[in-house]
Amino acid sequence: MTGQDVRETEHRITVKAPAQIVYRLLAEVPDWPLIFPPTVYAHRIEGTDREERIQIWATANGEAKTWVSRRELDPQRMRIRFRQEVSQPPVAAMGGTWFVEERAPGGCRVRLLHDYRAVDDDPERLRWIDDAVERNSHAELTALKHTAELAGASADLRLSFEDTVLVNGEGKDAFDFINEAGLWSQRLPHVSRVDLREEVPGLQWLTMDTVARDGSTHTTRSVRVSFPHERIVYKQVQVPALMTLHTGEWLFEERTGGVAVTSRHTVAINEANIVPVLGAGCGVEDAKAYVHAALSANSLATLGHARAYAESRRGVGG
């Protein structure tokens, strides 16, 4: 990309971890929601270990965006080039490069370069992009450093689990119940307030107050991506005190005579808040057990109501 209206930026950070580990974190796109705060969901559309097309759903300046990029991967030089195929307004075009450069033994420097242009070369739109690139680049590099340097400790704080129910009904009806989260305060007893925004079809902002078993209320805010009628993936951008990360997925799999609906969670425990929330003497395993029980209870309650809704509608309209 050339021209006077193209902005070029560079952000960098030093990481006390082997360059190969850092490069691998950047290369494995499906893991990005677990590493980078702005990334909600990412997957490879097609490609090889050298070239690929990926789609990313992420937040920028409080807005949810999605785009498709082409990437060129060079593991020998530890360099990844990327270019958006079709950018989302106010971005007219964007690309860049990740460089992972070995430094002192066991360490490296990461440089993230961007080049971009605003729609109609509008100065206000360009300032919006400047802010988004600055904020997201800083967040991504800081998170990359944290993940690479504390790989073992981060893994110890992480927990993944799932719950499944079998529904004797149509998958579309079960999907609709989960997708229509704006109605959850009317349909789910553990949801006291909900606000759903879907300015772009299939890309939702969901804010809700959830009542826990002990009667306390927790406010969460999530970005959700819907793939009718197969799955809904989400990432909480506002999490309860015991967590630093919460990603999830609702999966709908057709079975003979019905559909299996699964709720999957991956969370990371906020170690600093264990004692303030759970009390003296509690540790990481206690926090994991507490979070697992709370999330599983809510998931099973939601799944139970989704099953009842779908089964009540079996044959409707047929």
Sorted by where each starts, the structural domains of the chain and their CATH numbers stand as 7-154 (3.30.530.20), 157-312 (3.30.530.20)
| Predicted confidence band of residue 119 (pLDDT cuts 50, 70, 90) | very high
Pairing of strands 51-60, 63-74: antiparallel
pLDDT at 200: 85
**Going edge to edge, which strands form the sheet with 203-211?**
158-167, 258-269, 243-255, 231-238, 217-227, 203-211, 191-200
Which tens digit of pLDDT belongs to each residue from 9-57?
A: 999 999 999 999 999 999 999 999 999 999 999 999 999 989 999 999 9
pLDDT over threshold 70, residue 1: no
Distances (CA, A) of 147 to 154, 155, 266: 7, 9, 15
**N-terminal to C-terminal alpha carbon distance within the chain:** 54
Q: Are 18 and 37 in contact (CB under 8 A)?
A: no
Q: What is the mean pLDDT of residues 231-253?
A: 96
Phi, psi of 293 (to 5 degrees): -65, -45
Tokens standing for 219? 């406010």
Has residue 318 got a pLDDT over 50? no
Interatomic CA distance for residues 80 and 230, integer angstroms: 31
Task: Write down the pLDDT at residue 314.
Answer: 81
> Are 61 and 132 a contacting pair, CB within 8 Å?
yes
d(CA 90, CA 73) in angstroms, rounded, equals: 27
Residue 297: phi, psi to the nearest 5?
Answer: -60, -45
- What pLDDT does residue 274 have? 97
Quote the tokens at residue 313: 């509608």
Distances from the Cα of 120 to the Cα of 5, 6, 117, angstroms: 10, 12, 9
128-184: pLDDT as tens digits: 999 999 999 999 999 999 999 987 667 789 999 999 999 999 999 999 999 999 999
Q: What is the DSSP string of 7-72?
A: EEEEEEEEESS-HHHHHHHHH-GGGHHHH-TTEEEEEEEEE-SSEEEEEEEEEETTEEEEEEEEEE
